[in-house]
Structure 1
Amino acid sequence: MIRNLCYELNLVYSTESLMEEYYCNICQKSLESVLLEDHIKEPDHIARKKKLEKDLELKNKISKLERSVLDLWKNG
């Protein structure tokens, strides 16, 4: 069973060991619960997260620009 904790981490309940395991969507790797706090402070994780946020921001800006151009074309 997988439950979404936030957009970057999923909590995975291992049925074999009954131990909580996390999956980082940003780094695409599994983590044990004891390593979770350390992982989200790692420079590699932070850098990947910032890059994804920047890419998403750029994508949103492009989408807004495309919509603006389309609106101008329709109304022009």
Structure 2
Amino acid sequence: MVTILLFAQLQEDVGQNRLELELEQTTVTKLKETLQEKFNLTQLGQVMTAINEEYALNDDLVNPGDTVAFIPPVSGG
């Protein structure tokens, strides 16, 4: 089981701030593709990713038991 935390627009698009998915080991890229297909989240290409509270790259591995956070870009002024 992988816990996925969603913030800002991603949370609004899915309608919840947390997902639990039954997944085997995968990469961040594959996880993003899965979420894009399942929830039509087209903006995942521009988000920051963290695995267990540490920033991650698209090639990093996601393992069962991990918590993955997707953090959209923030603008301000």
TM range (shorter): under 0.3
Which structure has more relative contact order (CA 8 Å, sep 6+)? It is: 2
TM-score, normalization: structure 2?
Answer: 0.21
Which has the greater radius of gyration? 1
More strand by share: 2
More helix by share: 1
